[in-house]
Chains A and B, each alone.
Chain A
Amino acid sequence: AQSVAQPEDQVNVAEGNPLTVKCTYSVSGNPYLFWYVQYPNRGLQFLLKYITGDNLVKGSYGFEAEFNKSQTSFHLKKPSALVSDSALYFCAVRDGNNRLAFGKGNQVVVIP
């Protein structure tokens, strides 16, 4: 079955430091990969996706993600974290029924 794993429950980072949120995937065939963010008391918001093409994908709010086929990873990155980036981040993959299958989410806490 197609799935993603987000190994860390929480990521703490100081404001201004680089932020990385990890995601690994397990698929048969070519993966369609997504990142979503959820701010408190809100639904999920789309950040970026990888379907094909350049391995480095740029998205909203200064985020980017790198598709790495050999490591089956799709880590989300931001060069300089802001306090306002504190949120829950979800990685997702297209599953065998052409639906989005989400991971459990990573809580990001940016410390002022």
Chain B
Amino acid sequence: ETGVTQTPRHLVMGMTNKKSLKCEQHLGHNAMYWYKQSAKKPLELMFVYNFKEQTENNSVPSRFSPECPNSSHLFLHLHTLQPEDSALYLCASSQGQAANYGYTFGSGTRLTVV
């Protein structure tokens, strides 16, 4: 295990459902990230949190709502999703916000919207 845990591993939801993805890290990192991974496309950075404060939102639709109650936990709340939102959602953390620290990733949540 990498020290970054994501739950659930798999999620199937209807377009009218509300669900949440959870990410937890016990590495003492200060920054946490949500990425979307779709086949044959670059990883898309969605949100960045540093010391619980959101520092970046890359034009993500409002049907995705992040929450970071503390530096160890990160949530992604989902509602009224579209089929094109089906993807692998990856959480990552890093010691600081600077890229040279590198990121530690969780195993992801495979989301299918039906």
Q: Which residues of A contact B (CB under 8 A)?
A: 9, 32, 34, 36, 41-46, 49, 51, 90, 94-95, 97-105
Contacts and interface: CB of A to CB of B under 8 A. Distances in A.
A42 B99 contact: no
Interface in B33-54: 33, 35, 40-43, 45, 48
A105 B105 CA distance: 16
Interface in B1-44: 2, 4, 6, 9, 33, 35, 40-43
A32 B41 CA distance: 21
Contacts, number: 58
B69 to A, nearest CB: 22
Contacts of B33: 99
A41 B9 CA distance: 9
A95 B42 CA distance: 14
Interface residues of B, number: 26
Contacts of A43: 2, 4, 6, 90, 92, 105-108
Complex A-B, nearest 8 residue pairs according to Cβ-Cβ distance, in ascending order: A43-B105, A94-B99, A102-B43, A44-B105, A43-B107, A104-B42, A43-B106, A100-B99
Contacts of A101: 42, 45
B43 A98 contact: no
